[in-house]
Structure 1
Amino acid sequence: ARVPCVECHIGPGASFWVKSKIDGIRQVVAVITNSYTKPIETPVFNLRPAQQTCEECHWPRQFYGEKLVTRTYYRTDEENSPWTINLLVKIGGGNPRTGRLEGIHWHMLQENKVEYVCTDRKRQEIPWLRVTKPDGSVEVYSDGDYEMPDTSQPDVQLRTFDCMDCHNRPSHQFLPPATAMNLAISKKEISRELPYIRQVGLDVLNKEYTDSAQAYDGIAYGIKTYYEKEYPEVFKTKQAEINQAIATLRRIYSQNFFPEMKTDYRARTNNLSHFTNNGCFRCHDGEMATKDGKMLPRDCTTCHIIVAQGPSENVEDLESNIAGLEFHHPEDIDEAWREALCTECHTPDQGY
């Protein structure tokens, strides 16, 4: 959607116009004196409420049902082997046919109220939450014996859950290297015929650079040096693929890494999903429970159903079942995936 910046950043009417101009003076002074923080601190605590921004178009009562999502990941082996998974994501909402409140957007429905306490400014550590249901009943969940803190203290935030608690990067996204690499390989912008290109690409993107110029040089040097040393025959015969990979990696870097501002995926955590950042697991971590032992659900099928999965880029080649499949991990980790959080292994820098 082509939504002008001011639609979210500045409210309607004269009062918001005046406020934005006054705030603009502060920003001009900060730029002139180079006194602003790097990176710019997030979240923005005086951001306009989601009810005045997101919900102007995405109203909470809208029912979205289920959405089919296809993701292809590539392993860090010599063949850059693919693994594709098809998910039916239960976005949900208020179902007009059944009257049920369901799916991920259950959190956002006006009939429900979810409040939580976070113990850090990034809203990543959530040890306590309270759910008020349509019938007025209240459930309080906490991590262990954590008690409701004194919200009058400046370092304690009691926040009512809204769109921005999951969709905290609806724009200005900074993709982790693994996500960007998966997309580039899927679109044939980086050739799978280059051995270990996924791992080598991650390595050069994750290096610390002082500025973009140094990064562009470092990416080219890292890729060329690796293949010249480790795969001299590939270096001789696949110069076109190597140069294309370098160009694509430079583009990925230019769109997602800003070393002069100290801004990239490490400074801009994305709460949507739970694969490389805790996201959903900030609450649904298997530890949150009421005093009488009721656990906050962490079952995979609460939010999505796997309808196809397997080691191929082609959906037609995958094991499939519209009723749902049990998750199969690409690596043999036995039953560990049932208990461990994805983020215990899948860090933002390595992905998947």
Structure 2
Amino acid sequence: MPNHGISDTLDDFGGLINWENLNAWLDTSGAPGYGPVTAARKLAGGLQNNVFLLSRGNRDLILRRPGKHLKPRSNETMLREARVLNALEGSAVPHPRMLALCDDADVLGACFYLMEPLEGFARSGDLPGQYATDSSWRRAMGVELVKAASALGNVDPVAAGLEDLGRPDNWHERQVERWRSQLEGYAATPGYNPADLPHVDAVGRWLADNLPTDRRIGLVHGDLQFPNVMFSLQAPRISGVLDWELVSLGDPLLDLGWILSSWFEDGDPEGKSPMVKPWDGFLSRGELSTLYGKQSGRDMAQMPWFFALACYKLACLLEATFAASKAGKVPEPVGRSVHAYATWLMTKALQIIAG
């Protein structure tokens, strides 16, 4: 490929970006801007993927690609994410606009895509700007999360061309065994015992015995919480929902259950702090549920099942990190911390069941 005058001073980020190949591809991609990339910065992104802010001519672009050592489905996941973002174009779901997709893994060693940059922040911890000083802005964060969740739940997967993103048949009936099997799979790790996660049997039994009667199948983001949502610093609103790698078919109320599991309220079990601070001014879980019901038309009397399922599912998933710490693949303090949160989630699920 010809040299496009790219400066030797641009970092290749450990081999993640071949600038000569990327600039040649950009010339034919239809991506905004012109000429070679003149500046690049690696951004904080998901654990599985790498995110870069690129400057090209008069435009900034976000490049998202898998890690250097590809997993079996890394390229497929990139293509899937890009497909979802394209399908959401024109919907009420706040999301970054897809700009260009590269399905030729030879360009950078993996499939990747470009999307528009979003203004704002996505994080846990201390809130910035007016969110830190104005409780009405913090209240709006909950409202905006519910609006985004209900908007995604209102998308028709068939009309959007996304009806093949999962198995809708008997989705509700399959959930307990699906995540219990995941947990039991960690038993192959020496030193890990799935029985160390409390209340799994009790919560799983309740979920199986109390299946909801109001069921719908739609799109589920899969990890809808503060670090995966960009909030604008200019107004109390969501700029866009990020990290679409887990999107699948399921009951959209699970996304609200996920939000509720990340929430903080008086009366929760001990051992958890708010995900963002300061916390005063945020809506209660009950207010979030009521708002979702008004926007979606769902029967929110079913919500405890989805809330408990979110806790159950996340706890089972988090135990993978605890098991990895037993094998020396994750620092032991990290494993203990994650296990403590998984235990909190199962304790919260038991509290939900008790009413």
TM-score bucket (shorter structure): under 0.3
Q: Higher helix share goes to which structure?
A: 2
Query: Which has more radius of gyration?
Result: 1
TM-score (norm 2): 0.24
Higher relative contact order (CA 8 A, sep 6+): 1
